[in-house]
Chains A and B, each alone.
Chain A
Amino acid sequence: EVQLVESGGGLAKPGGSLRLSCAASGFTFSSYSMNWVRQAPGKGLEWVSSISSTGTYIYYADSMKGRFTISRDNAKKSLYLQMNSLTVDDTAVYYCARDGGRFVPAAMSFDSWGQGTLVTVPS
């Protein structure tokens, strides 16, 4: 069974940093691209970033470029999101989601999701 478990969320100061992690199990992690998706309280889903299976190809939403860094460690079966220069608008639940193949985009994108981790940046 595919399992994705996010961690690292919490309270962060405006202008501060946080590093989110996503531990994967139940599938060959190194064979899949991975994504981060966020959801602000009471709002819709927003794609954050994607990384290909080997880490060669990386994509960011425009509002995250230059502030967020996605990375992965295939040996540890883990996905990461380094978030810097946080603002109140970054307050959201951050989900780790598997893509459908080695490269982005995949047909069966976002086929498995973690339970999410809440990041709060107070005003």
Chain B
Amino acid sequence: QSVLTQPPSASGTPGQRVTISCSGSSSNIGSNTVNWFQQLPGTAPKLLIYSNNQRPSGVPDRFSGSKSGTSASLTISGLQSEDEADYYCATWDDSLSGYVFGTGTKVTVL
């Protein structure tokens, strides 16, 4: 079982804003930066956000990330149909000496 907790699902209509939370602890999110990944159906995950709030080149600016204390969040502003996917947070856990992934959130565009 994952040590990072995400809501199982989130949804919105095109153009709406959707926010996904990722809750951890002092040994993981509280001590390290958070990355976010998008996994479209049937494909490999793709890095969406790194170092809490940085976007790799090519990632649309409607995706943004933030972190506060032991929680992080991913916001999709201006939801589009192609954003329908699974989203995962991840970080390093100092106690486990390993990476941990979130439980994943399925985003549905209504």
Contact = CB atoms under 8 A, between A and B. Distances in A.
Say whether chain B's binding surface is mostly helix, strand, loop, or mixed: strand
A107 B33 contact: yes
Interface residues of B, number: 26
A45 B37 contact: yes
B63 interface: no
B56 A110 contact: no
Interface in A88-110: 95, 97, 100, 104-105, 107-110
B103 A110 contact: no
Nearest to A114: B44
B50 A100 contact: yes
**A35, A46, A95, A109 interface centre (most CB from chain B within 10 Å):** A109
Contacts of A50: 98-99
Contacts, number: 70
Contact of B2 (A44, A97, A107, A115): A44
B46 A105 contact: no
Contacts of A110: 35, 37, 45, 47, 90, 99
Contact of A108 (B47, B97, B99): B47
A50 B96 CA distance: 13
B96 to A, nearest CB: 7
A107 B96 contact: no
A97 B88 CA distance: 15
Contact of B44 (A60, A104, A116): A116
A45 B51 contact: no
A61 B98 contact: yes
A108 B56 contact: yes
Q: Would you list the 5 A-B pairs with minimal beta carbon distance, nearest first?
A: A105-B92, A47-B99, A44-B104, A113-B44, A45-B101
Interface of B: 2, 32-33, 35, 37, 39, 44-47, 50-51, 56, 86, 88, 90, 92, 96-104
29 contacts: A35-B99, A44-B2, A44-B86, A44-B101, A45-B39, A45-B45, A45-B101, A45-B104, A46-B2, A47-B90, A47-B101, A50-B98, A50-B99, A59-B97, A59-B98, A95-B44, A95-B45, A97-B45, A100-B50, A105-B32, A105-B99, A108-B50, A108-B56, A109-B35, A109-B50, A110-B35, A110-B37, A110-B99, A111-B47
